[in-house]
Amino acid sequence: MGIGYKTSWLAVPGASGGAVADALGLAGRVAMDWDAGTEAAYRKGVFVASPVDGWTLAHGRIDLDAGRDGDGPAVLAWLGSLGRRFGELQYFSTDRVGECHAWARVEAGRVVRAYCYDGCVGDVLMRLGEPTEIERRLGVGLRGLEEGRERWGEAEWDDWHAAMPDEQHVMAIARDWGICPLDIPDGTTVVDGIHGFPPDAG
Examine residue 172 and state whether it is found in any structural domain, yes or no. yes
Examine residue 202 and state whether it is found in any structural domain, yes or no. no
Note down the domain range covering 161.
Answer: 7-197
Strand partners of residue 30: 195
Examine residue 81 and state whether it is found in any structural domain, yes or no. yes
Which residues have a Cβ under 8 Å from the Cβ of 194 and sit 6 or more positions away?
Answer: 17, 18, 21, 26, 29, 30, 31, 32, 37, 47, 48
Q: What's the pTM value of the predicted model, to 2 decimals?
A: 0.93
- Per-residue pLDDT in tens (0 to 9) along the chain, 202 residues: 578 899 999 999 999 999 999 999 999 999 999 999 999 999 999 999 999 999 999 999 999 987 665 557 889 999 999 999 999 999 999 987 778 999 999 999 999 999 999 888 778 889 999 999 999 999 999 888 777 778 888 898 888 888 889 999 999 999 999 999 999 987 777 789 999 999 977 6
Query: How do 27-32 and 193-197 pair as beta strands?
Result: antiparallel
Examine residue 2 and state whether it is found in any structural domain, yes or no. no
Examine residue 26 and state whether it is found in any structural domain, yes or no. yes
Examine residue 54 and state whether it is found in any structural domain, yes or no. yes
Do residues 147 and 182 make contact, with C-beta atoms less than 8 angstroms apart?
no
Map residue 4 onto helix, strand or coil. coil
Q: How many folded domains does the chain comprise?
A: 1
Examine residue 150 and state whether it is found in any structural domain, yes or no. yes
